[in-house]
Structure 1
């Protein structure tokens, strides 16, 4: 008979015994076995360095800047993927507000080019992984962006020829991006005297659960 069956039978017997003896007392042999368990959760700790990356003034159509930043896994758990959230505000340079349509037009003129994570900067199109305007990035959900990156053969943590790398604890990866003010080939006078404050939020996602 299994332990679970014996446990149930023991409970039933105890109830029967109490009912037979009523208010009396009785003696019996017994033994106990104690089991203790500990469940300690790990941590996801994703950081970006530097926290302020691009500060460029007096942009004009056709200008660009190449930038690098680091993502660090400072936690105790592996990171399966990193989702990118894009948000921004657009004002005049003096801080005064602008119409939403103009803000969107300016954000659409600012393009982000993601480059390979190998130290190669863009040369005649080489090293370009993906490019979108800030408006397009803002309007995509992080899951939509992740699916598009996955379709192109790179996503998650490191943009290295489709190979996921550097996801473990205490790992760091460099990322290379180019920000460009697109030249439409036509007058863009309405985009003068504007300032866009960009906020990128990187969300680290844990690896799938597994038997431990």
Structure 2
């Protein structure tokens, strides 16, 4: 290779090197901005007041017992529906033989509009039937008609009224003497569909 070619190639290499160095060191203005975001989940907090809705002794066939209780939404989210699950156990009088019939079939639950209209029943069923009901059936038949609004808004309370009745079947019911029923109601609040916020 000739001297001219070597010299031309050297100058071209030097020019390329200077352009790379110069290209990496240029001045500019800049500015930045940051955005912060957060997500906080709401709460569902359903309470029943009083926690013991009924506690009676010495009942007999034909007795009716009216009770009031409140469902309280202490959470930050609206409750769209309230489901009710029923469990109960029957305890026979000490030393008595096991009953042929279930006392839960003789305890009727009448859900009422309000305490002043005791004969205005919304929904009526026995403990035995209520135990096997779909919890959603109670929401549709009892809680939705009773609650002033569809569901239970955050921070609000709804008053509910119920009547327990020891059904007199006009037959001998001696097998139930001295027996007792322990009832457990589990209320479950559920929120509605998601929405655009």
| TM-score, normalised by the number of residues in structure 1 | 0.72
Deviation of the 1:167 alpha carbon: 1.7
Alignment of 1:74 onto 2:74: yes
Give the match for residue 183 of structure 2.
198
CA distance in 2, matches of 1:91, 1:119: 30
Q: CA deviation at 1:141?
A: 2.0
- The answer for unaligned runs of 5 or more in structure 1 is 1-20
Instruction: Check if 1:140 corresponds to 2:155.
Output: no
The answer for unaligned runs of 5 or more in structure 2 is 1-19
Query: In the alignment, what sits opposite 1:177?
Result: 162
- Between the aligned partners of 1:119 and 1:165, the Cα distance in structure 2 is 21
Corresponding residue number in structure 2 for 1:120:
116
- Post-superposition CA distance 1:48-68 (Å, at most 9, x none): 111112111111110111110
Q: Distance in 2 between matches of 1:171 and 1:98?
A: 48
- In 2, the alpha carbon distance for the partners of 1:31 and 1:98 equals 87
Equivalence for 1:111 = 108
Partners of 2:115 and 2:86 lie apart in 1 by 24
What does the per-residue CA deviation read over 1:103-147, in whole Å, with 9 as the maximum and x for residues that have no partner?
A: xx210100000000x44231xx3x211110000000112023334
Change over 3 Å in CA distance of 1:187–1:65 after alignment to 2: same
**1:59-118 CA distance string (max 9 Å, x none):** 111011111011111111111111111011111245x7975864xx210100000000x4
1:66-105 matches, within 5 Å, as 66-94=66-94, 99=98, 102=101, 105=102
CA contact (8 A) 1:90 1:98 kept: no
CA contact (8 A) 2:92 2:178 kept: yes
Calculate the TM-score normalised by the size of structure 2.
Answer: 0.77
